[in-house]
């Protein structure tokens, strides 16, 4: 009976250690994401009935344990607006990166990715089922020595760019991920 209890204890400890390891992997991914990433996400925006392709995307991940906030900006060179920006909240769960666009209220999942100190590549899946490729390069990390104790407002100057063309004041570009 004593032998059975010892074996049972070892099995329980092994199962618990495997469970805790998965959480640590998510936290490790979140730590790698901390900073600014730039590159191609193959995203377009529909505006006034026309489709415009983004020239570049910049994403800033501000990390917590396995989640955080930040921003996502798509830059355009051939559109009547220069960029489309959103605040984001994000989390890493079971190896996937879930991103919510706060102003739009939409979500995407980055999955089947490879991540290093300098590169993030993989696929994005939208809530509508569209799958798009993603390749981003790590361009900067936060300099924690330049921050003081306190907080910053979530309402920074990020938002939709005003159109240079004449359009209705309520119309905003609609982000579309390209297959």
Whether 104 has a pLDDT exceeding 70, the answer reads yes
DSSP 171: -
The domain in which residue 64 lies consists of 28-177
Does the residue 4 lie in any domain? Answer: no
Does the residue 59 lie in any domain? Answer: yes
Question: What is the b/e burial string over 27-42, where b = at least 16 CB atoms within 10 angstroms of the residue's CB?
Answer: bebbebbbbbbbbbbb
Whether 89 has a pLDDT exceeding 70, the answer reads yes
Tell me the C-alpha distance between 48 and 111, whole Å.
32
Does the residue 8 lie in any domain? Answer: no
pTM higher than 0.95: no
Write down the H helix ranges in the chain. Answer: 2-33
Phi, psi of 7 (to 5 degrees): -65, -45
Residue with tokens 């960029």: 83
pLDDT tens digits, 22-75? 458 899 999 889 999 999 888 888 888 999 998 999 999 998 889 999 999 999
pLDDT tens digits, 124-147? 998 888 898 999 999 988 655 544
In this prediction, residue 127 carries a pLDDT of: 84
Whether 121 has a pLDDT exceeding 70, the answer reads yes
Q: Per-residue pLDDT averaged across 145-161, rounded? A: 42
Average of per-residue pLDDT values in the chain: 78
Does the residue 162 lie in any domain? Answer: yes
Total domain count for the chain?
1
Does the residue 16 lie in any domain? Answer: no
Give the CA-trace dihedral at 131, 100, 71, 94, to 10 degrees.
Answer: -70
Does the residue 82 lie in any domain? Answer: yes
Is the distance from CB of 57 to CB of 74 less than 8 angstroms? yes
In this prediction, residue 2 carries a pLDDT of: 65
Q: Which domain CATH number covers 64? A: 2.40.128.120
Q: How many residues does the chain have?
A: 179
CA distances from 39 to 16, 84, 120, 172 (A): 39, 15, 9, 23
Does the residue 23 lie in any domain? Answer: no
DSSP 127: T
């Amino acid at each position: 009976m004593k032998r059975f209890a010892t074996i049972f204890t070892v099995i329980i400890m092994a199962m618990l250690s495997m469970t805790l390891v998965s959480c640590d992997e998510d936290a490790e991914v979140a730590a790698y994401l901390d900073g600014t990433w730039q590159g191609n996400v193959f995203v377009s925006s529909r505006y006034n009935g026309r489709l415009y392709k983004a020239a570049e995307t910049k994403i800033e991940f501000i990390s917590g344990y396995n989640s955080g906030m930040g921003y996502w900006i798509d830059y355009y060179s051939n559109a009547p607006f220069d960029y489309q920006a959103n605040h984001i909240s994000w989390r890493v769960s079971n190896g996937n990166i879930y991103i919510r666009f706060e102003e739009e209220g939409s979500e995407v999942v980055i999955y089947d990715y490879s991540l290093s100190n300098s590169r993030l590549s993989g696929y994005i899946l939208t809530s509508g089922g569209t799958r798009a490729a993603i390749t981003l390069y790590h361009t900067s990390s936060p300099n924690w020595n330049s921050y003081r104790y306190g907080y910053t407002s979530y309402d920074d100057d990020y938002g939709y760019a005003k159109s240079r063309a004449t359009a209705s004041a309520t119309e905003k570009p609609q982000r579309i991920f390209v297959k």
